[in-house]
Amino acid sequence: MGICRSILIVLAALLLLPGSALPAQRNACLICHRPHHAEQGNCVGCHRGNDRTNRREIAHHDLIVGRFAHFTLKGSPIVVRGKELLEVLACRRCHVYEKKGNRLATDLAMLARSVGPQAIFDSIRSPVLLMPNFHLDDGQLAALVNAILGETESAGAGAPETARVVHFEAGKRAEENVFVKQCGPCHKLLSERFGGLGNGDIGPNLSGLLSEYYPNTYRDTEPWTTGKLMKWLENPRNMRANARMKPVRLAIGDFVLLMQTIRINLEVYTEKEVMNVP
């Protein structure tokens, strides 16, 4: 009985110890690191990881390293730079970012929930076949990753919206597509209706052409329209003195099929309807 009581007293005394003295409540990151940005949050709030252990590998699990952590600072110039790059490089002609953009590929805001920052970095540096290689340096890539992580934070919870791209059931139909035959040797296209088409790299990737997110490359700063594309195909040199692309002559029926392949959110099908879309 006496022994039991003294054990209980010891236990009670342990429970009454001030919280800070219990190892489980200390920020174990501070065993190895000095604090910084303390006024703006705590270590795991900005870097993730596990602050309940003194073992580095466990403490660093899922860690956001310094160069990808800038999005946690308010008004970070690196995030601003990343957003500028997203704009200039027109990522939105394929991806949704800040709820704007074509749904041809993953919504960038949803990405960081399933993929780590380094994997995002790597997939922009070494992109999949249908995504252009922008040949960016490490600083530009890190800025883009920070802009994507920052957007993930502010997007909040919600069901991820899937890309709208449909894929050919059989390769044969893809080969018959007018884009594949007439443009595919020099261009690539991620199309909403038929998935990835073409395999050329001589000309630019045309995904999202004629949508508001494609860069305004027609005569410097003008957006592309159906009519302008038609003129361009008749003779690119009339539009750009030193264009390398040669004229491509298409029967009107093929041009309509081309529009139905290239355009996004196009719910019209007859020749007249297609030609009337600006």
* Angle formed by the axes of helices 138-155 and 117-125, nearest 10°: 130
Determine the interface stretch with ligand HEC among 15-23, 24-32, 153-161, 166-174 (rule: CB under 6 A).
24-32
The least distance separating ligand HEC from the CB of residue 194, rounded to whole angstroms, comes to: 13
Among 80, 217, 266, 275, binds ligand HEC (CB under 6 A): 217
Q: Any contact of residue 65 with ligand HEC (CB under 6 A)?
A: yes
Question: Rounded to an integer, what distance in angstroms lies between the CA atom of residue 211 and that of residue 225?
Answer: 9
Among 81, 83, 91, 177, binds ligand HEC (CB under 6 A): 91
Helices (H) and strands (E) in the chain — how many of each? 13, 2
The least distance separating ligand HEC from the CB of residue 170, rounded to whole angstroms, comes to: 21
CB 232 within 8 A of CB 225: no
Question: Rounded to an integer, what distance in angstroms lies between the CA atom of residue 233 and that of residue 255?
Answer: 10
Q: Residue 22 or residue 160: which is nearer to ligand HEC going by CB?
A: 160
Six-digit token string for 150: 């920052």
Residue with tokens 């054990």, as numbered in its chain: 7
Determine the interface stretch with ligand HEC among 14-22, 34-42, 149-157, 267-275 (rule: CB under 6 A).
34-42
Q: Any contact of residue 183 with ligand HEC (CB under 6 A)?
A: yes
CB 194 within 8 A of CB 207: no
Q: Residue 10 or residue 247: which is nearer to ligand HEC going by CB?
A: 247
Six-digit token string for 198: 């073409």
The least distance separating ligand HEC from the CB of residue 249, rounded to whole angstroms, comes to: 9
Q: Residue 36 or residue 173: which is nearer to ligand HEC going by CB?
A: 36
Among 80, 89, 266, 268, binds ligand HEC (CB under 6 A): 89
User: Which residues, numbered 142-161, are part of the site for ligand HEC (CB under 6 A)?
Assistant: 144
Q: Any contact of residue 4 with ligand HEC (CB under 6 A)?
A: no
Six-digit token string for 185: 């040797």
Q: Any contact of residue 29 with ligand HEC (CB under 6 A)?
A: yes
The least distance separating ligand HEC from the CB of residue 99, rounded to whole angstroms, comes to: 16
The least distance separating ligand HEC from the CB of residue 168, rounded to whole angstroms, comes to: 15
Residue count at the site for ligand HEC (CB under 6 A)?
74
3-state class of 211 per DSSP? coil
The least distance separating ligand HEC from the CB of residue 267, rounded to whole angstroms, comes to: 21
Question: Rounded to an integer, what distance in angstroms lies between the CA atom of residue 179 and that of residue 191?
Answer: 10
User: Which residues, numbered 231-250, are part of the site for ligand HEC (CB under 6 A)?
Assistant: 232-233, 236, 243-245, 248
The alpha helices in the chain, defined as continuous H runs, are 2-16, 43-47, 56-59, 77-88, 108-111, 117-125, 138-155, 171-176, 178-182, 226-234, 236-239, 252-262, 271-276
Would you tell me how many other CB atoms lie within 10 Å of the CB of residue 67? 17
Q: Any contact of residue 124 with ligand HEC (CB under 6 A)?
A: yes
